[in-house]
């Protein structure tokens, strides 16, 4: 790695921090501008009790002061504060708890999707216009266009209720099989299609023809030249996709009762759990920023002609 690359990475990390700071600031003020509050319930508590709770969590202070305190706590102590709704739990613990499951689920789904997708895409490209290609394209089109709540419900009814092969709740042993499939089918289909079109494009390039003319073996052409060069769009897609998929999917977690992080994003907002909203937002924003950075660096690995500047 040369100094230019290092400088580039340094610049990107700085930019990432600024991005996250902007996200924090916007979320913080927008969140407080939305009506409702964390201590509001169907059955009202007394005004005094409400005031006592607000004082306890510092919500009685002016907004800008809360904002400064929040930022300071994160920067100096890496402290994301307590959840306002799940009394007694720390935001960081809740996120880490959910991430254990979501990351496992997401990683397996993403990696399987990439492996299967690239293989199928390559096969489809190499066997262009054959029956095999057509079958792959029809199936992947179906998977790309089918929303996960339908796919999930279908799998649940067939494999859990009718056949009884796998449990219906993510907490049981083997309960993650269906969620992984549901979560992975869309990116798998998408990657298949990306790989196919990109590979077709590469296979038509002059250097492939040159290699063929020079008598390079078929395998070497495919793996050494064609496949490697057709992966750029896949990598572009894979990085952010991985960030989203490992941070959980509300829909899939709901359908299969998976104890992941995805639900927390939504429930924290419904609950006006300010600390959780900030925590989950920062977490997701950081992951996406990091994934984008890794993606950019991977470009260079795949294609040395790409210059950082």
Partner 1 sequence: MNMKKLMALLLTLAMCLIGLTGIASAETAGSKLAICLASEPDTLDPALNSAVDGATMVSHLFSGLAKWSQDENGNLIIAPDAAEELTEGVVNEDGTVTYTYTLRDGVNWSDGQAVTMHDFEFAWKRAASTELGADYGYMFEQVKGYPDDLAVTAVDDKTLEVTLNNIVAYWDELLAFPTYFPVREDVVSDEAWATDPSTYISNGPYTMTGWEHNSVITLTKNPYYHDADKVTMETLECYLSDDENNMLANFQNGSWQMIDAVPTSEIKLLESEYPTEYFVVGQIGTYYVCWNINEEILPEGCELTGAEAEAARAEIRNAIGLLLDRNYICEEIGQAGQVPASSFVAMGMTDFDGKEFYQNAGHSDEYVGYFNTAADAYESNWAEGVEILKKYYDFDESTQMFTNFPSLTYIYNTDAGHQAIGEYLQGALAGVGITLQLTNQEWATFLNTRKDGDYSIARNGWLADYNDPISFLDMWITNSGNNDIQYGRGAHAELAMYDLDLTPYGYDIKVEDGTWAETYDVLISTIKGCTDTEARYAMMHIAEDMLMSTGCIVPLYYYTDIYMIDDAVQGFFTNPLGYKYFMYTTIAE
- Considering only residues 120 to 139 of the shown chain, the ones binding partner 1 according to CB under 8 A are 123
Residues paired with residue 106 on neighbouring β-strands, in sequence order:
none
- Sole binder of partner 1 in the list 6, 68, 154, 171 (CB under 8 A): 171
Please report whether residue 230 would count as binding partner 1 according to CB under 8 A: no
Please report whether residue 111 would count as binding partner 1 according to CB under 8 A: yes
Please report whether residue 37 would count as binding partner 1 according to CB under 8 A: yes
- Considering only residues 172 to 191 of the shown chain, the ones binding partner 1 according to CB under 8 A are 172-177, 180-181
Please report whether residue 204 would count as binding partner 1 according to CB under 8 A: no
Q: Which stretch binds partner 1 (CB under 8 A): 19-27, 118-126, 195-203, 286-294?
A: 118-126
Task: Write down the least CB distance from residue 257 to partner 1, Å.
Answer: 4
Please report whether residue 158 would count as binding partner 1 according to CB under 8 A: no
- Sole binder of partner 1 in the list 164, 204, 215, 304 (CB under 8 A): 164
- Considering only residues 66 to 95 of the shown chain, the ones binding partner 1 according to CB under 8 A are 82, 85-90, 94
Task: Write down the least CB distance from residue 287 to partner 1, Å.
Answer: 20
- Sole binder of partner 1 in the list 3, 43, 304, 309 (CB under 8 A): 43
């Amino acid at each position: 790695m040369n100094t230019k690359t290092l400088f580039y990475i340094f610049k990107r990390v700085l930019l990432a921090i600024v991005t996250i700071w902007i996200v924090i600031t916007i979320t913080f003020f927008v969140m407080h501008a939305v009506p409702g509050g964390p201590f509001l319930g169907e059955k009202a508590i007394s005004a005094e009790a409400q005031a006592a709770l607000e004082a306890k969590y510092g919500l009685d202070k002016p907004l800008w002061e809360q904002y400064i305190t929040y930022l300071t706590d994160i920067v100096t102590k890496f402290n994301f504060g307590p959840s306002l709704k799940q009394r007694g739990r720390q935001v960081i613990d809740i996120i880490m708890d959910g991430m254990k499951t979501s990351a496992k689920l997401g990683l397996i789904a993403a990696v399987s999707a990439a492996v299967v997708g690239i293989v199928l895409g390559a096969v489809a490209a190499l066997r262009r216009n054959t029956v095999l290609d057509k079958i792959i394209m029809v199936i992947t089109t179906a998977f790309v266009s089918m929303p996960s709540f339908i796919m999930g419900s279908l799998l649940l009814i067939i494999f859990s209720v009718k056949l009884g092969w796998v449990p219906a709740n993510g907490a049981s042993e083997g309960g993650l099989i269906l969620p992984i499939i549901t979560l992975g089918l869309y990116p798998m289909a998408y990657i298949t299609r990306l790989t196919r079109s990109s590979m077709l494009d590469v296979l038509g390039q002059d250097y492939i023809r040159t290699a063929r003319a020079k008598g390079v073996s078929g395998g070497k052409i495919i793996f050494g030249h064609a496949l490697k060069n057709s992966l750029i769009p896949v990598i572009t897609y894979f990085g952010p996709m991985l960030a989203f998929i490992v941070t959980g999917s509300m829909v899939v977690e709901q359908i299969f009762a998976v104890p992941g992080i995805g639900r927390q994003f939504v429930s924290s907002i419904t609950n006006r759990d300010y600390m959780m909203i900030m925590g989950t937002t920062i977490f997701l924003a950081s992951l996406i920023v990091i994934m984008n950075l890794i993606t950019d660096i991977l470009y260079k690995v795949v294609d040395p002609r790409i210059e950082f500047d």
